[in-house]
Amino acid sequence: MSIINILSPHVADMIAAGEVVERPSSVIKELIENSFDAGAGNITVEIRDGGMSYIRVTDDGCGMSPEDAGIAFIRHATSKLHDENGLEAISTMGFRGEALAAISSVSTMEIMTRERGSDSGIRLTLNAGEIEEMIPFGCPEGTTVTVRDLFFNTPARLKFMKSDRAEASACIAAAMKCALGRPGISVRFIRDGKEEFFSPGDGKLESCVYSLLGRDEASGMLSCSSSSDDLRLSGYISSPNEGRGNRSRQYFFINGRCIKSQLLQSALEQAYRDTLLTGRYPSCVLYLEMPFNLVDVNVHPAKTEVRFSYEKQIFDFVLASCKMALESEDRLAPRSTEAPVHGTAFTDSDPAPGPALKTADIFPAFMQNETFEQTTLVSYGQNIQSVEKVTECAPSQIHVDNFVENSVQNVENSNVPNHNILGQAFKTYIIVEHNGEILLIDKHAAHERMVFDRLCETISEIPSQALLSQTTLRLSAGDAEVLENNGELLLELGFEIEPFGENTFIVRAVPADLSIHEVSSAIEEIIEKLKSGKIVDPQEKKREIFHTVACKAAIKAGWDTDMLELQKIADAVISGRIKYCPHGRPVSVTVTRQDLDKMFKRIV
């Protein structure tokens, strides 16, 4: 008897909605981005009850024809992408054709729209993704989308909403991020009838930052502005004596899209090294512009993360630009938050002011790369292949990548006494000659300790990696409860796990060290540990979770490991930094020359 069911498009939309629409703030983001793509100059966002009962986004963009409006909410309906070639250089905020489908499937939606130059408009009402009515309608040019009763038909999701107040704050934050990304577009936000913010949309970064961040935050920020052949960085960073206790005021935009980026965050923070107290973080509003084909925005359902083609060069460029800004101390002068002033801020059409960095110094590979112009990012098809490829890789290979990236820094620069790696026994023990002794190192135990120590030393958030192919977990009610109760802690430690319906969870990201093969087993182990109820102290919980991550992340006995990795492990052991694995087992044993001589009866 067949047990496989092909889900109806409606159910598929509802599942997809879980990825795109997590909460009211995600609706706001998607609708504002649609207005940006429609070429709007003015956008008004209104919410009631934290966006749960009512969200309305009105724009004066290009509008939609009745035919387009009639299909815009169908999944994968998009005017922004025509074939796979378009994916190589995405210049619009949207391209997946998912947002309207996802939002309309879990709400009651009304779209009023009039195409630019057309005599009349149309009004479309939808209930749970089904058209209820479509009538000609008198309305101004542009589009108004109203979303009512979000998640009314997905009670499981509804349960996870926070208070209206918290949801409203998230909506405001989401809209603010969007508005900060477009100084040339005016955004007004109204909550329960009261204006929360307004950005003038005069194209001046300075007035945009002032109106959105507020006078206290904005004044005194340092102007950051540099360009190279293909990169341009502009914006503002905080002065070193204005460090904050968290990173909530770090805004990074790539080609107008607000993204989370570990890379840019590290580059920024490195610029402040030795000037900012430990545990304090800089703020920034930084705009990086680069050719669209050098950044892949198709790596996250909500498009909040990107992948760069030239990570090292971008890191160096941002670091150098921020350092320069810190040195130049070109401050944003105090001013009123309302009236935009004329200043040096860049407009969309101006070239960025300020000294140009010598690109050749920081961009050698990038510039000398003749294929740069033609550099393309993986097309959608290739992208999927690459996910599959990763899944097919031998565990050792996958691991080596993580390992090299994450562990190497740890051992660099240390003063390691001379030693000589003779090889490996049983793909388990590294044999090292050192100081007249033979050292046998358990490579798994040693590497596990290295990862564990690094995790414990990480003061702020643990770097995480977004999963390209998301893992879904179905848990027992008890396990689901354990996961939910520890959601915040896990998030801090690099696990982004979101509830999705009855005891089901979507894993969006995991700590960067973890191999994608180990995701489910790691989470299961963590739940087991937390379930026992013996560990209550948060620090203790953290250590237990780190134990699991380190163990799952470490290279295993029996794997092929290349010389570079063996070397790094040997260095860490010989320099004396690691002696025991996190479970207390020794990571190495020593056989002296004398021991050997005795064994062979050379001496007695």
Applying CB under 6 A, the residues found at the interface with ligand ADP are 30, 34-35, 37-38, 59, 61-64, 68, 72, 77-80, 94-101, 143
Q: Which is nearer to ligand ADP, 24 or 61 (CB)?
A: 61
Residue 279 CB, nearest distance to ligand ADP (Å)?
A: 40
75 binds, among ligand ADP, Mg ion, none (CB under 5 to 8 A by kind): none
How many H-runs (helices) and E-runs (strands) does the chain carry? 21, 22
Strand order of the β-sheet with 232-237 is 222-227, 232-237, 284-289, 250-254, 257-259
Residue 190 CB, nearest distance to ligand ADP (Å)?
A: 18
Q: CA–CA separation, 60 vs 37, rounded Å?
A: 11
Nearest to Mg ion by Cβ — which residue? 94
Contact mark string toward Mg ion, 95..134, x via CB under 5 A: ----x-----------------------------------
Residue 122 CB, nearest distance to ligand ADP (Å)?
A: 12
Q: Which is nearer to ligand ADP, 17 or 362 (CB)?
A: 17
Q: Quote the tokens at residue 475.
A: 């848990």
Q: Quote the tokens at residue 128.
A: 């749970």
Phi, psi of 481 (to 5 degrees): -65, -40
In DSSP notation, 300-346 reads STT--B-EES-HHHHHHHHHHHHHHHHHH--BPPP--SSS----S--
Residue 43 CB, nearest distance to Mg ion (Å)?
A: 14
Q: CA–CA separation, 66 vs 135, rounded Å?
A: 9
Residue 112 CB, nearest distance to ligand ADP (Å)?
A: 10
Residue 39 CB, nearest distance to ligand ADP (Å)?
A: 8
Nearest to ligand ADP by Cβ — which residue? 94
Contact mark string toward Mg ion, 206..225, x via CB under 5 A: --------------------
Residue 95 CB, nearest distance to Mg ion (Å)?
A: 8
470 binds, among ligand ADP, Mg ion, none (CB under 5 to 8 A by kind): none
Q: Which is nearer to ligand ADP, 98 or 448 (CB)?
A: 98
By CB under 5 A, the residues from 10 to 49 that bind Mg ion are: 34
62 binds, among ligand ADP, Mg ion, none (CB under 5 to 8 A by kind): ligand ADP
Q: CA–CA separation, 461 vs 511, rounded Å?
A: 10
Q: Which is nearer to ligand ADP, 93 or 482 (CB)?
A: 93
77 binds, among ligand ADP, Mg ion, none (CB under 5 to 8 A by kind): ligand ADP
The angle, 0 to 180 degrees and rounded to 10, between the axes of the packed helices 395-411 and 563-574 is: 40
Q: Which is nearer to Mg ion, 66 or 94 (CB)?
A: 94
Q: Which is nearer to ligand ADP, 112 or 570 (CB)?
A: 112
Amino acid type, 58 = T
- The 8-class DSSP code of residue 427 comes to T
Q: Which is nearer to ligand ADP, 300 or 444 (CB)?
A: 300
Contact mark string toward Mg ion, 80..99, x via CB under 5 A: --------------x----x
Residue 358 burial (C-beta neighbours within 10 Å; 0-12, 13-18, 19+): exposed
C-alpha neighbours within 13 Å on the C-beta side of residue 302: 23
Q: CA–CA separation, 210 vs 214, rounded Å?
A: 5
Q: Which is nearer to ligand ADP, 95 or 363 (CB)?
A: 95
61 binds, among ligand ADP, Mg ion, none (CB under 5 to 8 A by kind): ligand ADP
- The 8-class DSSP code of residue 8 comes to P
Q: Compute how many other C-beta atoms are within 10 angstroms of the C-beta atom of residue 262.
A: 13
Residue 134 CB, nearest distance to ligand ADP (Å)?
A: 15
Q: Quote the tokens at residue 537.
A: 């102290």
442 binds, among Mg ion, ligand ADP, none (CB under 5 to 8 A by kind): none
Q: Which is nearer to ligand ADP, 295 or 445 (CB)?
A: 295
Q: Which is nearer to Mg ion, 50 or 94 (CB)?
A: 94
Q: Quote the tokens at residue 162.
A: 């926070």
Q: Which is nearer to ligand ADP, 37 or 571 (CB)?
A: 37
Looking only at Cα atoms, what is the longest distance across the chain?
A: 106
Residue 75 CB, nearest distance to ligand ADP (Å)?
A: 8
Amino acid type, 140 = P
Residue 165 CB, nearest distance to Mg ion (Å)?
A: 27
Q: CA–CA separation, 471 vs 522, rounded Å?
A: 12
Q: CA–CA separation, 471 vs 496, rounded Å?
A: 11
Q: Which of 564, 337, 555, 260 is nearest to 428 (CA)?
A: 555
The angle, 0 to 180 degrees and rounded to 10, between the axes of the packed helices 164-181 and 24-37 is: 20
Binding residues for Mg ion (CB under 5 A)? 34, 94, 99
